[in-house]
Amino acid sequence: MTAQRTFRIAAIPADGVGIEVVAAGRAVLDALATASHGRFAFDWQEFPWGCGYHAEHGRMMAEDGLDQLADFDAIYFGAVGWPTVPDHVSLWGLRLRICQSFDQWANVRPVEFLPGIRSPLRKADDTDLGWVVVRENSEGEYAGFGGRNFGGRGDRGEVAVQSAVFTEVGCERIIRFAFDLARTRSRRKVSSVTKSNAQQYGMVLWDDVFARVATDYPDVETESVLVDAMAAKFVLRPEDLSVVVASNLNADILSDLGSALAGSLGLAASANLNPERRFPSMFEPVHGSAPDIAGQGICNPLGAIGSAALMLEHLGLPDEAKAVQHAVAVTTGSGTRTRDVGGTAGTEDVTAAVIDNLAG
Question: Active-site positions?
Answer: 142, 195, 228, 252, 256
Q: How many residues does the chain have?
A: 360
Minimum separation from the CB atom of position 85 to ligand NAD (A): 8
* Half-sphere exposure (Cβ direction) of 208: Cα atoms closer than 13 Å: 11
Q: Is 134 exposed, middle or buried (0-12, 13-18, 19+ CB in 10 A)?
A: buried
Strand 130-136 to strand 221-226: parallel, antiparallel, or no bridges (unpaired)? unpaired
Q: Which is nearer to ligand NAD, 220 or 267 (CB)?
A: 267
Q: Which is nearer to ligand NAD, 157 or 297 (CB)?
A: 297
Q: Where are the beta strands (DSSP E) in 254-313?
A: 269-273, 281-285
The residue whose Cβ lies closest to ligand NAD is: 81
Q: Check residue 91 for interaction with ligand NAD (CB under 6 A).
A: yes
Minimum separation from the CB atom of position 161 to ligand NAD (A): 22
Figure out which of the listed residues 28, 60, 79, 246 binds ligand NAD, where binding follows CB under 6 A: 79
Question: How far is 179 from 310, CA to CA, in rounded Å?
Answer: 19
CB of 259 closer than 8 Å to CB of 111: yes
Q: Check residue 263 for interaction with ligand NAD (CB under 6 A).
A: no
Terminal Cα distance for the chain, rounded: 25
Question: DSSP state, 91?
Answer: I
Minimum separation from the CB atom of position 284 to ligand NAD (A): 6
- Name the one range near ligand NAD by CB under 6 A: 108-116, 158-166, 230-238, 298-306: 298-306
The DSSP H or E segment spanning 146 is strand 140-149
Site string for ligand NAD, 10-39 (x = CB under 6 A): -------x---x------------------
List of residues contacting ligand NAD (CB under 6 A) = 17, 21, 79-81, 87, 91, 95, 265-266, 284, 287-293, 299-300, 303, 340
